[in-house]
Structure 1
Amino acid sequence: MKLSNYGEFPADIPVIAEDELFLYPFMISPLFLSDENNIDAATLAMEDSSLVIVCPTKPGEEGKRDFSSLYSAGVVGSIMRKVALPDGRVKVLFQGLARAQMLYEVQASPLIAKVDVLEATNISSLKIDAILEIVREKVRTLAGVSNYFPPDLLRTIEENHDHNRIIDLICSTVKLKKEQAYKLFVEIDTEKRFLLLIDYLIEEIEANKLQKEIRSKVHTHIEKVNKEYFLKEQLKQIQKELGTDTARDEEIEEYRKKLEAKKDKMSEDSYKEVSKQIDRFSRMHPDSSDASMTQTYLDWTLDIPFGEFAKKALKIKDVEDQLDKDHFSLEKPKKRIIEYFAVKELLELRGASSDSAGAILCFSGPPGVGKTSLANSIAVALKRPLVRIALGGLEDVNELRGHRRTYVGAMPGRITQGLIDAKKMNPVVVLDEIDKVSRSQRGDPTAALLEILDPEQNKEFRDYYLNFDIDLSKVIFIATANDLARIPAPLRDRMEFISISSYTPQEKLEIATRYLIPQELKKHGLKKSEVNISKPALKEIIHSYTREAGVRNLRRRLADISRKVALEMLQDSNINRVSVTVKNLKKFFDKSVFEIEKTTKIPVVGVVNGLAWTAVGGDILKIESIKIKGKGNLQLTGSLGEVMKESARIALSVVKTLIDDKKLKINLEKIPLTFKEKEDKIVIDASEIYKRYDLHIHVPDGATPKDGPSAGIALVSAIASILSDQKVRSEIAMTGEVSLSGDVLAIGGLKEKLIAAHKAAITKVLIPAKNYERDLEDIPQEVRDSLEIVGVSRIEEVLKEILIKEES
């Protein structure tokens, strides 16, 4: 088929836009048409038995079918066959006839353009023939470094004499960019086309040479790697048969390098011990159990951060600011902490050693008052890692000192592991619940703590697993405890105790407002504007829904509210804000706890308000007594400990003495007489009151064990009230121990007890005079303002305050 069969040019010809292929005149190619314009153009050409021009789209214009988005030149040819495909596309078989150029647009849809054929110039020339030989040489060179040209195509290029056909053949084979291909395609000067093609061929030859070189190097490297791998695997198998292994030699060498890197920072003993173990490991058979144990030892030991320290200089201002930021109130504990670090900073500034500056701090107090969080704040302020070691229930001394390596599964002690985790030799180590360490057949861990917490000894703390000494003098140890009485005396001697006592309701209110509410809202994905807890509601939560000295349960109650608010907001998208008030508080909580029952104002015979210290703060301890006809026996109930039972017996003896000395008035008319005594009109003595009655003393909440040396005056008051039939002032509470001679002795836990009295709406409290003189300044001002606190030194003063005398 020839172009001359289709009439003269220029002519109006339908245009097919091609996005991917770059066609040449000699090609017969299938085209897959999917858009309407191309399909309509092909249909029009088929119906009119006319030619069609296929033009490539410009880069970035793919998919567009307007005149401006197409290159102006393309291949004009005929459509030999057209087939509709099932997916909606149309497949046409296109035969290219000649290069042509669109002059201008004739019709937009389908696109028709005025087209003229591109006639080549400089076709027959000796110069062009010479250039053609150069082109053929470059093609042969490119064929040698690439797989572009199959033998048949090379033969065609060598034998063909149509210059432009040769150029088109080469261009269709070489991977040219669309811009390069079009530049060659549209050029009508054959000489220029050849020169352009030579430039492109030279570029392609260089690129393919480089690729071939890279491929060769990669292939060589892969062959080398594969060869080495194969040989190494063979060598491994041979060495395995012989009992040797080079990988193990490399591992041993790695251990030696690590040890040498730490040599200057280690003590001489530790270096010798680790070096000795590496030498032993190198001599062991790799499959022996000792080798595995020694390797584990080396892994642990070489992870110890010898000589690594947190670099931040100690500044008490940073400590003070961090404590104030994280904790409300706690003025005395914070002051003592700052004093502790002030000594260390001063020693550092003056170039002295601060290793043994002061005793180890121990925060003591009820749960939830902020003992551990104070240690966290110290670590943050000093920018040191925090290591928390929970000692609760610890009964194996090896947990602290490390297990000897003769045992299976031996490990370093928790102190050493803490240093490894912290990656520093001067972290802040919190020894939590130091009062709950237990003694067993495995040893006494408190004995190991004596060395750890003694600034004079912990410079050379020996871990049994490591078998060399570690310097713990740079570590800041902080212990926490609930009950100091459970800590052995030698261990108590190593520490300085900072008491963190109960919070008052007002302090809890401030803590909840400043810290707990914002923290819980953030944890539950709520915004401050979405939840409003009124001040009265917060007070009610503190008073009626929590039972604690600290704020842990208060945090849980606020978390309960946050969860319910989150659920409510998700279930109803119209809710943007939830208010918690006293009126709707029951919507968020099932029932109230009522921490301390408020006292009534009605005086009762034989019922006294005592004050008690518990592990969770202070509490009101009601003491009830009754008298039953009998022979003067004393019965005690309410899970009382030995100390309280002794206090009750002492109290009875004190009351008997008061009656005998006529310091306690007894109504003789109420003493029951026998028939004979009535007949004989015998006058009985006041002492008959405790001889003819049995006394039963009960402390309610019988399932809760109670003990301690502070209920003496309350027991005396209860017994005196029941024997003298005098009512007790119910608005008064008391605490204090009593001696046999009637002296009121000092007690501990005064702050917690007075806070409990304040919560129970007590108006007057009797305390030992010695406590009044020395401890009153520790009591929060809020509590002192709400209570009338009276110091008493004798039991007579107590009875004078507590008993209501009958009017004659």
Structure 2
Amino acid sequence: MQLSDYSAFPAEIPILVEDDIFLYPFMISPIFLSDEKNVHAAVEAVDTNSLVLVCTTKPGQEGERTFDSIYDAGVVGSIMRKVTLPDGRIKVLFQGLARGKILEPVSESPLTAKVDIIQTKPYNELKIEALMEVLREKLKQLSSVSNQFPPDLLRTIEENHEPNRIADLISSTIKIKKEESYKLFIEEDIEKRLLLLIDIISEEIEASKLQKEIRSKVHSRIEKVNKEYFLKEQLKQIQQELGTDTQREEEIEEYYKKLEEKKPFMEKDAYKEVKKQIDRFARMHPDSADANLIQGYLDWVLEVPFGKHSKKHLKVEDVQKQLDKDHYSLKKPKERIVEYFSVRELAELRGVADKQIKGAILCFAGPPGVGKTSLANSIAKALKRKLVRIALGGLEDVNELRGHRRTYIGAMPGRIVQGLIDAGEMNPVMVLDEIDKVGRSMRGDPTSVLLEILDPEQNSEFRDYYLNFNIDLSQVIFIATANDIGAIPGPLRDRMEFIFLSSYTPQEKYEIAKRYLIPQELKKHALKKNEFSISKAALEMVIENYTREAGVRNLRRRVADMVRKAAKEILTNPEIGKVNVSVKNLKEFLDKPVFEIDPTDNVPTVGVVNGLAWTAVGGDVLKIESIKIKGKGGLQLTGSLGEVMKESARIALSVVKTQIDQGKLKIDESIIFKTPKEKEENIKLEPSEVYKRYDLHIHVPEGATPKDGPSAGITMATAIASILGEYKVRADVAMTGELTLTGKVLPIGGLKEKLIAADKAKMKKVLIPMKNYKRDLDDIPESVKENLEIVPVTRIEEVLKEALILE
């Protein structure tokens, strides 16, 4: 089919889709085809010796091959050659012949449409010639400010007088958007087409002029900067010759001077590394980026207090006095701290080097508010050493401790080295707060660094990545604090010796409030001692009914609440002179009481047993409840119980069943459910039927609070025995102990906190494992032992005898 045969159009011909550019008549262009529709259309055109229409996709429709995604105009032409490439694509050589437009779609696969040639409307030759002259003039202007039009193309446009051919040549050369290309392409009026081109080229001229102006300014600025740089360099050389530019040399000289002063106290590797960096800094240009990094490094590293130590001689008496002055009670923790420093003082007196004394790292463990961090403060005061606190809670990035490598932007030394710099000495007291809350993430495991810091065998050569040499931490006194030692990884726990700080008794809290909290809060609130007083009964009521904690942090807050109201009262009514707080007016100073432990009501109840529990804020009394329901011997547990506690309940049920089977726990036949037939025939039931015909439900109150641990074993066994045998449980008896399947009672932890809780709940008798009775009773405050009858038990039979009313 030949294009010259215009009578053949409109005609149905295949369509090839091009994504990037518009093709124009008289262009010979290679087209690479990979999608199925294009390949199908090309094969059909070659096989039938047909012309094809090459259309362009609309903006945002690239890759689509539908009539809605392409412009309805394109170039009608022929495929001169078709070649199959090794990668499966087809390359065709296309020759454009004329502009065409789609009249109506015919087929989607391959794309085929009814196409007609775009005919140019009749035009005035003189007017068109004038427009073409304007266009040529504009092109000359554009070529003078842009390199888009080569001289050969300008010559061709100058010599050609066919307006459509010139419009096509220019449109194919300038860079315009698809929408504008389509407007130029589809236009049948050559006058409008030329005017549109003149507008586009005028805009191109303005844009090119602006770009040229910007490039010229940038080039001038670069030349100016280079000129200034060379002038500055020449000026520096002149100033050096004259001896006037000495600032940089003075800085470098200062660095060398500081390094030489610290040299006797530095390791060879450290001295070598710092000297190498100063030498590099001296050779560098001061405006380079590396020079700034190295200068930052030198400023940090030369602040490390090599050779500086606290000069005070260690005296155990001072430590003992300071601990007694700042803390009430805490007898055992104080003894262990004094023992720790006794070893160090003895080594100092006998001239033994610190590196040879491989003392343990102390870790104060206990609930919040019991004085862990304040003990470390007292140690620092007694030793006259600086105190450095490093909060480890939530720490995930290992580089926070070990330092960042200097290649990173914003690199800094680790917190340990920064702590030494802040302290200004190499032997401060360093408190690692909340070591049990260290995190682990993709940025590393900080506990691995803590292993090196806290290991006396390794910390004399601790390597900070930023400094890039070893630091001796053996003279630092490390003290860690933790709430839950179970959360500390095993290898790290092995490096430390734990000193446990348990809950304070109400009497201890009273003394702490009287001796420390009230005087301190009066001072903070600008009150004099004679302007505020609180009676003993009122203070005891605050401790008992307004605080829920193992330590004294909330007690301090309640004291502060009272003191603030007193300050306001004195300010508004100066004639009062003094504010007295008593039991009667306590409600005026504090809000509603928080009854942390309900006192026993002394009413024996079936299936309700007082269990003792340890929590992060001290001890508590939990009433374990049980009921029985007609069923088949099932067991249901509620109250957010952990796996260990659920296992304890199952063990307790098995133990009670054994007690019933062996006749040790008597079951009255009348309490066992009988069927009508059994009642009628008066059938005698075995005691074991009581646990076969009932389902048990055990609940531990405060269901939203997760609970776990084996120490509720005997409590659950007592509750099960009570509900199955319908025996009442003594309301003034509390208990704690792990139960084995054979009925033995095993020891538990947290005894002190549990007994304090029992005392607060006004219990009269407490059942504890025999091993705890022999081992831990010395740790229990005398006031608690006086108020409670503590009964040791070894087997479940003893527990049931003490707790149940069997008569």
Provide TM-score, normalisation by structure 1. Answer: 0.70
Describe the superposition over 1:429-483 as per-residue Cα deviations: whole angstroms up to 9, x where unpaired.
Answer: 0111111111222111111111111111111011111110000010001111111
Query: What's 1:717 paired with?
Result: 718
Distance in 1 between residues matched to 2:568 and 2:534, nearest whole Å: 17
| Equivalences for residues 462-477 of structure 1 within 5 A | 462-477=463-478
Describe the superposition over 1:571-609 as per-residue Cα deviations: whole angstroms up to 9, x where unpaired.
Answer: 112121010000000001111111211111000011111
Query: What's 1:460 paired with?
Result: 461
1:484 has 2:485 as partner:
yes
Describe the superposition over 1:681-706 as per-residue Cα deviations: whole angstroms up to 9, x where unpaired.
Answer: 33221111111111111111111111
Note if contact 1:319-1:382 (Cα within 8 Å) is conserved in structure 2: yes
Note if contact 2:737-2:746 (Cα within 8 Å) is conserved in structure 1: yes
Name the amino acid aligned to 1:801. E
Query: What's 1:622 paired with?
Result: 623
1:238 CA drift (Å): 4.7
1:234 CA drift (Å): 12
Describe the superposition over 1:10-31 as per-residue Cα deviations: whole angstroms up to 9, x where unpaired.
Answer: xxxxxxxxxxxxxxxxxxxxxx
SS at match of 1:466: coil
1:419 CA drift (Å): 0.3
Distance in 1 between residues matched to 2:521 and 2:745, nearest whole Å: 47
1:284 has 2:269 as partner:
no
Query: What's 1:550 paired with?
Result: 551
Which of structure 1's runs of 4+ aligned residues deviate more than 4 A? 233-246
Query: What's 1:661 paired with?
Result: 662
Distance in 2 between residues matched to 1:709 and 1:277, nearest whole Å: 60
Query: What's 2:117 paired with?
Result: none
| Equivalences for residues 9-408 of structure 1 within 5 A | 238-239=234-235, 247-355=247-355, 356-408=357-409
Describe the superposition over 1:190-248 as per-residue Cα deviations: whole angstroms up to 9, x where unpaired.
Answer: xxxxxxxxxxxxxxxxxxxxxxxxxxxxxxxxxxxxxxxxxxx9985855899998533
Note if contact 1:596-1:619 (Cα within 8 Å) is conserved in structure 2: yes
SS at match of 1:775: helix
SS at match of 1:447: helix
Query: What's 1:124 paired with?
Result: none
SS at match of 1:529: helix
Note if contact 1:731-1:764 (Cα within 8 Å) is conserved in structure 2: yes
Query: What's 2:709 paired with?
Result: 708
Of structures 1 and 2, the larger Rg is shown by: 1
Judged with a 3 Å threshold, the aligned counterparts in structure 2 of structure 1 residues 452 and 258 are, in CA distance, closer, same or farther, namely same
Query: What's 2:498 paired with?
Result: 497
SS at match of 1:306: coil
Judged with a 3 Å threshold, the aligned counterparts in structure 2 of structure 1 residues 805 and 441 are, in CA distance, closer, same or farther, namely same
Describe the superposition over 1:387-433 as per-residue Cα deviations: whole angstroms up to 9, x where unpaired.
Answer: 01111111111111111112221111111010000000000001111
Judged with a 3 Å threshold, the aligned counterparts in structure 2 of structure 1 residues 237 and 721 are, in CA distance, closer, same or farther, namely same
Describe the superposition over 1:70-116 as per-residue Cα deviations: whole angstroms up to 9, x where unpaired.
Answer: xxxxxxxxxxxxxxxxxxxxxxxxxxxxxxxxxxxxxxxxxxxxxxx
SS at match of 2:627: strand
1:340 CA drift (Å): 0.5
Query: What's 1:787 paired with?
Result: 788
Judged with a 3 Å threshold, the aligned counterparts in structure 2 of structure 1 residues 278 and 625 are, in CA distance, closer, same or farther, namely same
Judged with a 3 Å threshold, the aligned counterparts in structure 2 of structure 1 residues 665 and 240 are, in CA distance, closer, same or farther, namely farther
744-753 or 291-300, larger mean C-alpha shift: 291-300
Describe the superposition over 1:595-648 as per-residue Cα deviations: whole angstroms up to 9, x where unpaired.
Answer: 211111000011111111111111111111111111111111111111111111
Note if contact 1:365-1:499 (Cα within 8 Å) is conserved in structure 2: yes
Query: What's 1:698 paired with?
Result: 699
Distance in 1 between residues matched to 2:598 and 2:636, nearest whole Å: 26
Note if contact 1:650-1:739 (Cα within 8 Å) is conserved in structure 2: yes
Distance in 2 between residues matched to 1:785 and 1:236, nearest whole Å: 88
SS at match of 1:496: strand
SS at match of 2:401: helix
Query: What's 1:742 paired with?
Result: 743
Note if contact 2:358-2:457 (Cα within 8 Å) is conserved in structure 1: no
Note if contact 1:427-1:476 (Cα within 8 Å) is conserved in structure 2: yes
Distance in 2 between residues matched to 1:644 and 1:287, nearest whole Å: 68
Judged with a 3 Å threshold, the aligned counterparts in structure 2 of structure 1 residues 599 and 236 are, in CA distance, closer, same or farther, namely farther
1:676 CA drift (Å): 2.5
Query: What's 1:220 paired with?
Result: none
SS at match of 2:574: coil
Name the amino acid aligned to 2:423. A
1:289 CA drift (Å): 2.7
Distance in 1 between residues matched to 2:233 and 2:542, nearest whole Å: 73
Distance in 1 between residues matched to 2:650 and 2:783, nearest whole Å: 37
Name the amino acid aligned to 2:567. A
Name the amino acid aligned to 1:720. A
Note if contact 1:343-1:357 (Cα within 8 Å) is conserved in structure 2: no
Distance in 1 between residues matched to 2:302 and 2:545, nearest whole Å: 55
Query: What's 2:89 paired with?
Result: none
Name the amino acid aligned to 1:354. D
Distance in 2 between residues matched to 1:604 and 1:239, nearest whole Å: 99
SS at match of 1:626: strand
Name the amino acid aligned to 1:405. R
Name the amino acid aligned to 2:714. I
1:251 CA drift (Å): 2.0
Query: What's 1:539 paired with?
Result: 540
Query: What's 1:603 paired with?
Result: 604
Query: What's 2:93 paired with?
Result: none
Judged with a 3 Å threshold, the aligned counterparts in structure 2 of structure 1 residues 631 and 252 are, in CA distance, closer, same or farther, namely same
Distance in 2 between residues matched to 1:658 and 1:629, nearest whole Å: 21
Name the amino acid aligned to 2:255. Y
Note if contact 2:621-2:758 (Cα within 8 Å) is conserved in structure 1: yes
Distance in 1 between residues matched to 2:634 and 2:509, nearest whole Å: 46
Name the amino acid aligned to 1:715. M
Query: What's 2:770 paired with?
Result: 769
Note if contact 1:243-1:285 (Cα within 8 Å) is conserved in structure 2: no
Distance in 2 between residues matched to 1:294 and 1:562, nearest whole Å: 54
Query: What's 2:728 paired with?
Result: 727
Distance in 2 between residues matched to 1:235 and 1:555, nearest whole Å: 68
1:264 CA drift (Å): 1.0
Judged with a 3 Å threshold, the aligned counterparts in structure 2 of structure 1 residues 242 and 432 are, in CA distance, closer, same or farther, namely farther
Note if contact 1:639-1:704 (Cα within 8 Å) is conserved in structure 2: yes
SS at match of 1:574: helix
Distance in 1 between residues matched to 2:315 and 2:546, nearest whole Å: 41
Name the amino acid aligned to 1:279. D
SS at match of 1:547: coil
Structure 1 unmatched runs, 5+: 1-232
Describe the superposition over 1:514-572 as per-residue Cα deviations: whole angstroms up to 9, x where unpaired.
Answer: 11100000000000100011110000000000011111111000100111111111111
1:489 CA drift (Å): 1.3
1:516 has 2:529 as partner:
no
Query: What's 1:221 paired with?
Result: none
Name the amino acid aligned to 1:583. K
Name the amino acid aligned to 2:272. K
Distance in 2 between residues matched to 1:396 and 1:427, nearest whole Å: 24
Name the amino acid aligned to 2:275. S
SS at match of 2:610: strand
Describe the superposition over 1:473-526 as per-residue Cα deviations: whole angstroms up to 9, x where unpaired.
Answer: 100011111111111111111111111111000011011111110000000000
Name the amino acid aligned to 1:460. E
Name the amino acid aligned to 1:783. V
Distance in 2 between residues matched to 1:235 and 1:782, nearest whole Å: 87
SS at match of 2:601: coil
Distance in 1 between residues matched to 2:761 and 2:256, nearest whole Å: 69
Describe the superposition over 1:357-384 as per-residue Cα deviations: whole angstroms up to 9, x where unpaired.
Answer: 4211111111111111011000000000
Note if contact 1:651-1:738 (Cα within 8 Å) is conserved in structure 2: yes
Distance in 1 between residues matched to 2:792 and 2:234, nearest whole Å: 91
Name the amino acid aligned to 2:280. R
Provide TM-score, normalisation by structure 2. Answer: 0.70
1:353 CA drift (Å): 2.3
1:766 CA drift (Å): 0.4
Note if contact 1:462-1:469 (Cα within 8 Å) is conserved in structure 2: yes
Note if contact 1:392-1:437 (Cα within 8 Å) is conserved in structure 2: yes
